[in-house]
Amino acid sequence: METQEPADPRVVIIGAGFGGLKAAKHLGNKPVRVTVIDRTNYHLFQPLLYQVATAALSPADIAAPIRGILSKYENIEVLLAEVRAVDVEARRVRTAEHEISYDYLIVATGSRHSLFRARRMGKLAPGLKSLEDAIEIRRRILMAFEFAEKTQDPEARTAAMNFVIIGGGPTGVEMAGAIAEIARETLAKDFRHIDPSAARVILVEGGERVLAAYPEDLSASALRQLQELGVEVMTGVRAREPDRGRPRGGWEVHSVPGENLGCAATRRRLSAKR
């Protein structure tokens, strides 16, 4: 009587970011069946998203096909789908079109930005976690200069050339520095009626220093470099939604007690940029 060989265990990996790809490569050509599920068909190098957002790189420069990356591993299949649910009891992953059983599950779905309690902020200013976010931010930055070039209203021109970045973490610091660089260098000679280098770039951080997760000497170095680029850095300052009774909407910057109050102009700019 012939005995049937037991099938290799099946590993399902949800997400093809850094963690998901690392796990898949480690299991490549091993005695397991691997299914990688992602809702896009490309792996995104997120640390360089800010360069796409500031027109320094094209989207293709930081995105690579998942299938191409994993094609040399015969035991790995890639499924383009969005996971809707995981049935832990039945050991099944559910998408809109499939149910995939698993012996082992790796969830590597990454993270998304948090708006904390200011949920309406997302309608006015996108985060920076996807190619779509980066392309939209790039469009807004470039169109702001185009609007400033053609408008005859001095106040509207000034408002259009004010850029406020909320959050002094790595992404916020990189974005602020990159916007300042393109305004003062890349676009400096491209317009006839405006001076792009006159753009005002403001970085707002609610904590005591930028890059708070890093050692203080690195934080201080980042602050100096931002200031050398002309970025105005406001620490101990938070942006919040206005009171519901306010007729125009928009956003306000509020100084934390103990900090200087030099943010009144920024408060007006944020409202104007809504």
Q: What is the pLDDT of residues 51-72, one digit of tens each?
A: 999 999 999 999 999 999 999 9
Q: 216-228 vs 170-181: helix axis angle to the nearest 10?
A: 20
State the pTM of this model: 0.79
Q: Are residues 159 and 240 in the same domain?
A: yes
Element (H, E) at 233: strand 232-235
Closest CA to 35 of 115, 92, 118, 112: 92
First vs last C-alpha separation in the chain? 76
Q: Is residue 260 part of a domain?
A: yes
Q: Is the pLDDT of residue 262 over 60?
A: no
Q: Is the pLDDT of residue 248 over 60?
A: no
Over the chain, what is the mean pLDDT?
85
Q: Is the pLDDT of residue 247 over 50?
A: no
Q: Where are the beta strands (DSSP E) in 21-146?
A: 33-38, 42-44, 63-65, 76-80, 83-87, 92-95, 99-101, 104-107
Average pLDDT estimate for 88-110: 95
pLDDT at residue 269, rounded to an integer: 36
Q: Is 174 a catalytic residue?
A: yes
Domain span holding position 219: 121-272
CATH code for position 216 = 3.50.50.100
Of the three residues 66, 83, 107, the one that is the final residue of a domain is: 107
Q: Is residue 113 part of a domain?
A: no
Give the pLDDT band (50/70/90) at residue 129: confident
Of the candidates 2, 89, 174, 216, the residue annotated as catalytic is 174
Q: What is the rounded CA–CA span in Å between residue 138 and residue 56?
A: 10
Q: Are residues 103 and 140 in the same domain?
A: no
Q: Is the pLDDT of residue 188 over 60?
A: yes
